[in-house]
Homo-oligomer: A and B are copies of this chain.
């Protein structure tokens, strides 16, 4: 079994850095403790190792097929969905009373990180059912809950998010799928949806689409969008019958080929019934309640894929012998494992620093998610704001950087990396989806700069600065990392100045100029926020090393891991953080070349 993630990383970040146990003080999570969380992670590991990893390449090679209007997926997916249902992964975070386990999001995400590192395509199936069931649990009526929730939780039915249309991808307010009310309570749905992940397949008995559509005469734009449950099969007289949802096509993709992506047509025979969720015209609002989670999922699974690619390249670098040390190239000596070459170490540390820093940021967000749902007062409000602020970063940074880290993993394999004999090329293809779905990177840049930093008059940014400064103070008292604490402090000040400068641009030159380099602002902000996470990890690693030295063997995290963490932190500050200088230079320039260029000159 090849390694695809680090158990020590998961434990270290969850228990030591972000102290998941402290969440058990919330009444929501009072039944849990460290031991129960560890059991959950062990189950995830076991499912990942025994069922998901063994078929991850088969699922990529033997892609789903569309035959006679029905998509067929890997034969083992049915059993896997059942297992996932039985083990409670789909309902892991749901209320006890709805059949859930009330696990903290932190633990659910950690489990999902592990499973997606083993087989991202397979995890997509259950992730979508999680999302759909959350929507029904939050906004559905009792009849809907009783009809759909158990089937989704048990993995018998597949949930989907059916938003995108041919003319409405990034611009969701332009959807045109129509919903016509009938006297029987349901609506007749007519339209097309594209890129519907797991939108049709044979591993579940039914597909339940959470679909956005426009009720006749609804207001234009985002305010006129409603949410419907549109099942592939509906009950009539106790029997499941076809609901006039047809699969018009299946996309062939660059990667994560094990998950089918469907093009759906509703109402070709004017008999597609949709069941309104909540109130009319509230659809986008409901959907946005799920958006932070959906986006964290993208960042998390980027980390998963990048982690699997890292371990593939690490294993290769240890085994592959090629070349000799620069200081002794005597051809009579045997060749050395390539891990001994400085540039190979650089490419390994690059991956590791991005993956582990991103993973810690995602756990930070998961913590805010938990607190935003179940804490109270200012703690709740603060967590909700910080989650909103950091979500565009947690979504985009692992996705964008993951293109580069999986590319480095491939590069370490040399020419072999370009062949399908090794798995590196699969991860390079797979991760490429993540800067595209759940909002492109450009949209998250605009979300961060154009909305999030302004949130409640900048309150979110102020909270962030407080938390970062607290951790910088702690890091300053650590001999090993105080230099980098100082670096981050300076750079956070630069970021604040830059933000003020850009607000000035907004006032003087208007919103187009303000947001023209929002993608670069997102990148700069991300590098620093991940730097903050590295300081957090560094402080804890130093404490753990000190306590393990004084207090032998009570520590579950090895000193090797902790030392590795400190080295990787150093790498991040030495190689990644300096990239902010160029970004800052560009972001302060007054030359608006992208705005000013006439499209006719793009030739």
Interface residue ranges, A against B (CB under 8 Å): 6, 8, 164, 167, 169-171, 173-174, 194-195, 220-222, 251-255, 261, 314, 317-318, 321-327, 331-332, 335, 337, 339-346, 348-349, 352, 403, 407, 410-411, 414-415, 417-421, 425, 428-429, 432-433, 435-437, 440-442, 445-446, 450, 510-512, 515-519, 560-561, 563-564, 567, 570-571, 574-575, 578-583, 585-586, 589, 591, 593-595, 597, 599-603
A220 and B352 contacting across the interface, CB-CB below 8 Å: no
Q: Which B residues touch A601, using CB under 8 A?
A: 560, 563-564, 567
A436 CA to B432 CA in the complex, in Å? 20
Given A331-B220, A335-B167, A436-B414, also A586-B591 (CB < 8 A): no
Query: Smallest distance from the beta carbon of A475 to chain B beta carbons, Å?
Result: 17
Are A597 and B349 also in contact (CB < 8 A) when A254-B420, A419-B251 are?
yes
A579 to B581 Cα, complex, angstroms: 8
Provide the residues of chain B in CB contact with A8, threshold 8 Å: 603
| Contact (Cβ within 8 A) A173 B419 | no
Given contacts A512-B325, A597-B345, contact A411 B254 (CB under 8 A): no
Name the B residues within 8 Å of A251 (CB-CB): 419-421
A564 to B600, CA, bound (A): 9
What is the CA–CA distance of A248 and B324 in the complex, to the nearest angstrom?
Answer: 29
A8: min CB distance to chain B, Å: 8
Docked Cα-Cα span, A174 to B597, in Å, equals 53
Interface of A is mostly: helix
A164 to B585 alpha-carbon distance, docked (Å): 44
Contact B407 A403, beta carbon cutoff 8 Å: yes
Contact A512 B352 (CB under 8 A): no
Which one of B342, B597, B599 contacts A512 once the chains associate, using CB atoms below 8 Å?
A: B342
The reply to whether A220 and B518 contact each other, CB–CB distance below 8 Å, is no
Contact across chains for B440 and A342 when beta carbons are under 8 A apart: no
Do B432 and A410 touch (CB < 8 A)? yes
Known: A332-B220, A407-B432. Contact between A167 and B602, CB under 8 A?
no
A409 to chain B minimum Cβ distance, whole angstroms, is: 12
Chain B contacts of A570 at CB under 8 A?
Answer: 591, 593
- A418 CB contact (under 8 Å) in B340, B436, B563: B436
How far apart sit A186 and B324, CA to CA, in the bound complex (Å)?
33
Chain B residues within an 8 Å CB radius of A602? 314, 317, 339, 345, 348-349, 352, 564
Q: Is the CB of A593 within 8 A of B580?
A: no
With A220-B332, A322-B171 as known contacts, state yes or no: A428 contacts B420, CB within 8 Å: no
Contact across chains for A346 and B594 when beta carbons are under 8 A apart: yes
Q: Contact at A169–B414, with CB atoms within 8 Å?
A: yes
Chain B nearest Cβ from A341, distance in angstroms: 7
How far apart are the CA atoms of A587 and B437 in the complex, in Å? 36
Complex contact B594–A511 (CB within 8 A) = no
Q: Is the CB of B419 within 8 A of A428?
A: no
Contacts of A585 in B (CB 8 A): 578, 581
User: Which residue of B has the minimal Cβ distance to A3?
Assistant: B603
Instruction: Let me know if A516 and B564 touch, CB within 8 A.
Output: no
- Residues of B contacting A410 with CB < 8 Å? 432
Besides A346-B516, A570-B591, A579-B579, 10 other CB < 8 A contacts?
A170-B414, A220-B331, A254-B418, A314-B602, A327-B512, A341-B442, A342-B594, A414-B440, A574-B593, A578-B586
Closest to A330 in B: B221
B445/A418 in contact, CB under 8 A? no
Q: Once the chains bind, are A171 and B593 in contact (CB under 8 Å)?
A: no
Chain A to chain B: the 6 pairs with minimum beta-carbon distance, closest first:
A221-B331, A578-B582, A343-B442, A342-B516, A564-B601, A578-B585
